[in-house]
Each structure stands twice: as C-alpha cells, then as structure tokens.
Amino acid sequence: MVAFISKSQSFWRKLSEYSQKNFNCLKRDPRLFLMRKMARIEVVRNLMVNLTKPPSQSYAVSLDNPSIFKDINVDKAVSALKNDGCYLGLNLPQDIIQEFRQFYQSRDWHVNQDKNLVFSYSDLEKISDKNAKKFRFANPYHPGICPPLEKLKTDPVLLAIAAKYLGTTPKCVGSSLRWSFPVSATLFEQLKSAQVFHCDLDDYRAIKFFFYLTDVDLSSGPHACIRGTHKNKKLLHQFLGERCASIEDQKLIDDYGMHNVMSICGAEGFGFVEDVLCFHKGTLPTAKERWFLQIEFAINEYRGLRNC
C-alpha cells in the first residue's frame, strides 16, 4: 500500500513538472513550444525543412574569405551528415588551439553550474584533484568575447557545411566550452549532465560542431553517438523525443545495433560535426580531464531554448 501511494505521488509530481515545463516554454516562445511538439516526428520535420528559404548567399572560401580548415570537402561532409548523422575530420590548427588556451586560462570558471563555486583557472587546476568527487565539470564564468570562437562562428567552411545541410542561411544559436573532470557519478547526475544517450530537439534541423581542446582517449570521456539515428528512429522514440534520455543506453544500443555505436577519440584540436537528433552523449571521464568546445547552428532561433 505504501509503495502504491509513493508510486502514485511520483506520477503526479512528474506530471506536474512536465505541465509546468510546457507552460513555461509556451510563455517564453510559442514557436519553440510548437517546434518541440512537431519536430520529433520525422515526416513533419522534413516537411518544415523543405519549406525553409534557401541560403541568401554562398559561403565559398576565397582569398578574401579564407578558412582556418584546409582540404575539407564540403559535399563529402554534408553527405556523411545525411547518411550517418555525423562527419569526423575537422582539425583546428595549433595556433587557434593556443589562442583558445590563452583566452580561457585568463578567465574565471564556475563549477557544476554553482554560482558559489567560482575559481580562477590556476586555482581550479590546483584544487580540482583534491575535490575530484565533488567537481564534475566547469564552464568559463562570463567569459566575454572569445576571438578564436568568433573566427569559428564565421568560418566559411563551417558556414558552408551548415548552409548546405540545413538548406538555409545558418544561424549560430549557441556555443559553450566544458572542462570535465574524472569522477564517479550517479545515473541521475549523468542524466542531468548529458552523459546518457539522448537527442536534442533544438530546431527542425540543427547541427553542432565539436572540438576537443585536450587529447581525448577512452579514459577522458569521449563523445559517443549511435550512427544513423538522426533519421528512421522507431516510432515510439519519435513520440518520446527528448524523453528518450530516460531509456537505458543498452536498450537503445540493442535497438539500433552495437556496430553503429561510435566512441569518438582524437588528439587536441580534433573536431567533428553532428546532427543533434542523432542519439549522442559525452561519456564519463574515468582517468583524465577533457576540454570540449561546441558551436551550434540551426534554421531558427528561439527565445529560452536552453531554459525550457
């Protein structure tokens, strides 16, 4: 009887949280609310993408408009995105990696998104080991304009890939850098930190460019994805949308095939691009730290995308 009452309370609490989240989303931006409901269904999503306006300009690399990426075949990258949901092989040059390092090493960082845990880079580097159990990740705290990041946001190769895949003029809708520490974490903590397989409903079509700013091997929490799951998802998973995060990783692997699971390792500067509808996660670092940069492009911008 006690178990029944507790289960029933848990159901009503979850329903109340879900309704509140939907109401907040509707209040902030009705277009965002509508997209979150519609974009999860593949046929609707494709229809909306086909209705978008084509790009208003071309993003060709030229002497006047150079790219920091050399020898990237945009068509090949877009074809891999269409087929697999991801493309690997964008490498940051060493001078840009150094620019990022210098910029972020002169900034303050906040830990676990807690405003009471703000440290300079050097202090955080010294104390993170001693607090290994408590410090899961850190982000730059009000970093201001980061020059190498601005270069990436306007790089003609990244914009050309985004424009061709999105089928319209791409909008940069977010960017972030995360410093992850090797810790143990509960399943709930991993769920809250995007460390279980999930997909993001950020627009009818959206992609993220990811770059490692440290060497990443299997012990430093490589990004992982299930190739091809940006399309042809099972109907149940389409209806669940972002709530697929509550499905066990192993169940999703069984459904889509172990042979499609990719753990993406690479040296500092290694980069890749992914359709955010592909099931993906940042795995938990077990022995080494990781710096991970992401830049997202989408068809539309929404108010409060990160908050609801």
| Distance in Å, CB of 230 to Fe ion, minimum | 12
The answer to the question of residue 275 lying near Fe ion (CB under 5 A) is no
Q: Which is nearer to Fe ion, 59 or 210 (CB)?
A: 210
- Count the site residues for Fe ion by CB under 5 A: 2
Give the nearer residue to Fe ion in terms of CB position, either 200 or 249.
200
Token pair 């979850």 is found at 14
Q: Which residue is nearest to Fe ion (CB)?
A: 200
Nearer residue to Fe ion within complex by CB, 44 or 191: 191
Of 148, 141, 157, 245, the C-alpha closest to 193 is 245
- Choose between 77 and 207: whose C-beta lies nearer to Fe ion: 207
Binding range to Fe ion, per CB under 5 A, among 16-24, 77-85, 191-199, 214-222: 191-199
State in angstroms the smallest separation of the CB of 29 from Fe ion. 20
CB of 118 to Fe ion, least distance (A): 25
Q: How far is the CB of 261 from Fe ion (least distance, A)?
A: 16
Of positions 155, 200, 249, 275, contacts Fe ion by CB under 5 A = 200
| 296 sits near Fe ion (criterion: CB under 5 A) | no
- Residue placing its CB nearer to Fe ion in the complex, 29 or 274: 274
Residue 156, φ and ψ in degrees, nearest 5: -65, -30
**29 near Fe ion, judged by CB under 5 A:** no
Q: Which is nearer to Fe ion, 69 or 198 (CB)?
A: 198
- Site stretch for Fe ion (CB under 5 A), options 1-9, 151-159, 198-206, 246-254: 198-206
Q: Does 274 bind Fe ion (CB under 5 A)?
A: no
Min separation Cβ 199 and Fe ion, Å? 7
Distance of closest approach, residue 249 Cβ to Fe ion, in angstroms: 14
The piece of 37-45, 152-160, 195-203, 225-233 that touches Fe ion (CB under 5 A) is 195-203
Residue type, 46: N
Per CB under 5 A, residues contacting Fe ion are 194, 200
